[in-house]
Structure 1
Amino acid sequence: MNRTLPNGLSISTEVAEALHERRPVVALESTLLSHGLPPGRNLEVAHRLERTVRDAGAVPATIAVLDGTALIGLSQSELDRVCAPDAGLEKLSLRDIGPAIGLGRSGATTVASTSALAHTAGIGVFATGGLGGVHLPAPGAAVTWDVSADLGVLARVGTLVVCSGVKSVLDIAATLEVLETNSVPVLGYRTDEFPAFYRRSSGFSVPLRVDDPAAVAAAVAAHRAVADSGVLLANPIPAEAEMAADLHDRLLAEGLELLRSRGVRGQDVTPVLLEHFHEGSGGVSLDANEALVLANARLGAETAVELCAS
Structure 2
Amino acid sequence: MFKLKLLFTLLILLSIASSTYSKTATEKSIFVVGSTSAGQLFDSLEQSFYNKTGYKLIVRAIGSNKGVIAVAEGVSDVGIISRFLTPAEQNRFPQLAQITIAQDAIVFITNEKNKQKSLRRQDIIKMYTSNDPIWPATGNKALLLSKNLGHGTLDSFIDFFGLDSVLSPDGQGLLFKPAGINFLYSKNKTVPNDRINQAIAYTSREPNALAFESMGAFTRFMANKQDIRSKLLNFEGIPVLKDGKLNLDYPVKRPLNILINHQKSAGVDALIAYLQSDEAKEIIEQHNFIAVN
TM bracket (short chain): 0.3 to 0.5
Structure in which a larger fraction of residues adopt strand: 2
Greater relative CO, 1 or 2 (CA 8 Å, sep 6+): 2
Larger-gyration structure (1/2): 2
Instruction: Give the TM-score, by structure 1 length.
Output: 0.31
